[in-house]
Amino acid sequence: EQRLQIQRLLEPTLIVASSAGSDVVKGLTQTPKTLPPRYFYDDRGSDLFEQICELPEYYLTRTETQILQSCASEIAAITGACEIVELGSGSSTKTRILLDAYQQKGLPLHYLPIDVSAGMLESSALSLLADYPSLQVDALAGTYELALSQIEPSQLPSRMICFIGSTLGNLNPQECDVFLSQVKAALQAGEYFLLGIDLQKPKHILEAAYNDNQGVTAAFNLNMLEHLNWRFQGNFDTTQFEHWAFYNETEHQIEMHLKSKRSQAVELHTLKLNVHFEPGETIRTEISRKFSLNSIQQELKAKNLVPQKVWTDENQLFGLLLCQL
């Protein structure tokens, strides 16, 4: 019996809808300049992100892990037998906590990870299969949008779409709205949506998390330029840009930028794109929105994704919501 299937919705390792690079052209020709955060995650970027998750200043992963550990068994009890769909599964480290809980209850283990990195999907799926003898994995390599529109109805009595790690924070309010509609469309009435979000908190805690002492976040941010150089035959000189991250208190979001140290021109050959930078001009590479539990619950309810249970840690740093359609 075959326990692993990996379907590539997009070719080759990343994002074809955009590997034409039209999103890069669009972002770099507008003012202010922006780039989509998914370009962080080439092999080195995924590796750096794993390192970020271990940093003392980056409380997000650690805190969400603690919350999951304390509520996973309750989640499994509520949903019963269900297919676990995970958007942006990455290394699937936190997912193991959920799988353990379902396994302990003797529930079937059916996991559908979705990620833009096919390499990451394959290695994490192989490692999971080795550790969970009854697990079935159906992986999809592609963007959330595409994957959500293509998954078939659940083979188990229910389905839970998991979007943990506060990746929702990368979407602006309008994108968030569209995304939640896509989640809803992939669920049947009575099925579940598990959402992990970073919460609003004092500026100094947030800014430390995105400006770590060891400079891993800076390397992660700058690596996006190396990724673009590789993907589009570019000539970004990473020594001529610097990492800049701050909390925008009006928008309740961390913004990560790359700031040009001088006047310079950069070419992305295969995109036939020449970009000019003024000294101090920035490219915004990421927004990371910080939520209030009240307003996100309102928003979910308005979308008919009704929060059934909300968990947080003792310091209210992070929130986990189990919603039902």
Binding site for ligand AVJ (CB under 6 A): 52, 60, 165-167, 169-170, 210, 217, 286, 288
CB of residue 58 vs ligand AVJ: minimum separation in angstroms?
7
Closer of 92 and 288 to ligand AVJ (Cβ): 288
The closest residue (CB) to ligand AVJ is 288
To ligand AVJ, the closest distance from the beta carbon of 105 in angstroms equals 29
CB of 220 to ligand AVJ, least distance (A): 6
DSSP letters spanning 53-77: TT-SS-HHHHHHHHHHHHHHHHHHH
Which of 109, 317 has the CB closer to ligand AVJ? 317
By C-beta, is 55 or 109 nearer to ligand AVJ? 55
User: Which residues lie closer than 8 Å to 266 by C-beta, 6 or more apart?
Assistant: 234, 235, 236, 237, 274, 275, 277
Q: Which residues contact 77 (CB under 8 A, 6 or more apart)?
A: 105
Beta bridge pairs of residue 112 = 85
Query: Smallest distance from the beta carbon of 253 to ligand AVJ, in angstroms?
Result: 9
Shortest separation between residue 180's beta carbon and ligand AVJ, angstroms: 17
Q: Indicate the residue among 117 and 217 with the shorter CB distance to ligand AVJ.
A: 217
- In the complex, the smallest distance separating the C-beta of residue 94 from ligand AVJ, rounded to whole angstroms, is 12
User: With b meaning 16 or more CB within 10 Å and e meaning fewer, what string describes 31-68?
Assistant: eebbbbbbbbbbeebbebbeebbebebbbbbebbbbbb
For ligand AVJ, which is the closer residue by CB, 48 or 82? 48
Cis omega (within 30 of 0) for bond into 307: no
Contacts of 178 (CB under 8 A, 6+ apart): none
Nearest by Cα to 79 from 102, 112, 111, 104: 102
Residue 165 or 319 with smaller CB distance to ligand AVJ? 165
